[in-house]
Structure 1
Amino acid sequence: MWNYPIMPTGQMNPYNYIGYNPPTSTNPYPKFPQIDSSAFLSPFTFIIGDIIIQNNVYIAPFVSIRADEGSPFFIGSNSNIQDGVILHGLKKQYVTVNNRNYSIHIGRRVTCAHNSIVHGPCLIEDDVFVGFQSTVFNAYIKEGSFISSGAVVTNGVTLKPNSFVPPGASIDTQEKADKLPSVPIDKEEFAKIVQKVNQEFPTSYSLLFGKNRCSCGVAW
């Protein structure tokens, strides 16, 4: 299952990097990412440490996924991590899924839109939309929620299923989280359209560029 092509140094090619986390007092055991062969990793991405990336995940250019402090990370099937997204976590702070601890756990069919930040400890359930330039940190986002552009969800809050976070909102208390409305129909439809397009990208980009070619046209 985990047979994404790599070079002996850990580098996939000169245009992205996949490798072990550096050993530190915080995270002393180097671990290599486990990436399903059907996932597509765009050029100019950086992915290190104890990370599981499941089938048909699309990773866009300039994504940074660093399990060098908090770890492990998990990204579920058919999710998309768009351009400029950052995933990072705090040491020894976890969420628990199926009796296992994670710094970040992202479910299935999740969209992390351009330039969003997901910082552990964080649990994002299935079918969640994390909007452009939004931040999710130390939060539990339940299934079907929609976080709008520029919003912040933090401080240990839990969003109930199908919660809608308005643009630019700061949800930093459970009281605020509990008052959030349900996702409007137009936003729900928008999230579904984004998901549909991005689920086609892993296969389409693989056919267009091949596993052994950068999108700039340079073979490796």
Structure 2
Amino acid sequence: MQEKVHFKTMEKDNDCYQPFISANPITSFNKNQIYPNIDKTAYLSPFTSVIGDVTVSSNVFIAPNVSIRADEGTPFVIGSNTNIQDHVVFHGLLNKLISYAGKKYSIFVGNEVTIAHGALIHGPCFIGDRVFVGFNSIVYNALVGEGAFISINSVVTNGVRIAANRFVPPGAHIDTQEKADSLSQIPKENKAFSQEVQRVNQEFPASYHVHFGKKCCSCGIPYND
């Protein structure tokens, strides 16, 4: 039996701004169709897509033009209070998985994570709680520990493990464990910045639900009957 999607903007009478939410297509390597499981308090913006076995937890904010596509690597989990900003892409490789809490995932993202504009999160990967992934960065085939800060235009890959609370500098390529082990602690100003981004984005899901709960035309301008 197919899972139901619990998501406010799927109700056509209430919101003309609907993201694309769908089961994965049937393929030779995945003959089971699974719909996303999206908490009713999460908010998916216009022009986003969520496909396949994806769990979106409470108070998650997903900005416009995000693609979360579990049609090859699967499943994906996105933890509570996480924000995924404009033009972020989630995808995963077939049969390449990480293990966490006795289960296997293509992508696992913890709670209170920030994935900033334009980042690529590609499975297999694990991103722990309160991690910050900067603009246009790539996390692929990696495990990122709790509280780490990945700066703008950085790459974390090749099976590395980033320890908790470590700082990946802007433009860095962390592709060996030796590089990962040499990373320093997060500077205070970057930690404060990450916390402020979280504070701001955690207000968005409830606020956008109220805002786009109004009737609107295709241009997004609210109107009255």
TM-score between the two structures when normalised by the length of structure 2 = 0.91
Match of 1:200 in 2: 203
Does residue 1:83 correspond to 2:91, yes or no?
A: no
Cα distance in 2 for residues equivalent to 1:94 and 1:218: 44
Which whole-Å deviations, capped at 9, do the CAs of 1:100-144 have from their partners, x for residues lacking one? 110000000000000000000000000000000000000000000
Which whole-Å deviations, capped at 9, do the CAs of 1:174-208 have from their partners, x for residues lacking one? 00000000100000000000000000000111111
Match of 1:110 in 2: 113
Aligned pair count? 216
TM-score between the two structures when normalised by the length of structure 1 = 0.93
2:220 to 201, 216, 220: 216
Note the 1:108-187 alignment, pairs <5 A: 108-187=111-190
Cα distance in 1 for residues equivalent to 2:69 and 2:51: 5
Shift of the 39–138 alpha-carbon distance from structure 1 to 2, 3 Å rule, reads same
Provide the secondary structure at the position in 2 that maps to 1:193. Answer: helix
Which whole-Å deviations, capped at 9, do the CAs of 1:124-178 have from their partners, x for residues lacking one? 0000000000000000000000000000000000000001000000000000000
Contact persistence 1:43–1:215 (CA under 8 A):
no
Contact persistence 2:161–2:177 (CA under 8 A):
yes
Provide the secondary structure at the position in 2 that maps to 1:136. Answer: strand
Q: What's the C-alpha RMSD, in Å, of the aligned pairs?
A: 2.0
Structure 2's unaligned 5+ residue stretches are none
Structure 1's unaligned 5+ residue stretches are none
Shift of the 200–14 alpha-carbon distance from structure 1 to 2, 3 Å rule, reads closer
State percent identity of aligned pairs: 51
Contact persistence 2:107–2:122 (CA under 8 A):
yes
Contact persistence 1:209–1:215 (CA under 8 A):
no
Match of 2:6 in 1: 3
Note the 1:19-30 alignment, pairs <5 A: 19-30=22-33
- Per-residue deviation, 1:26: 2.2
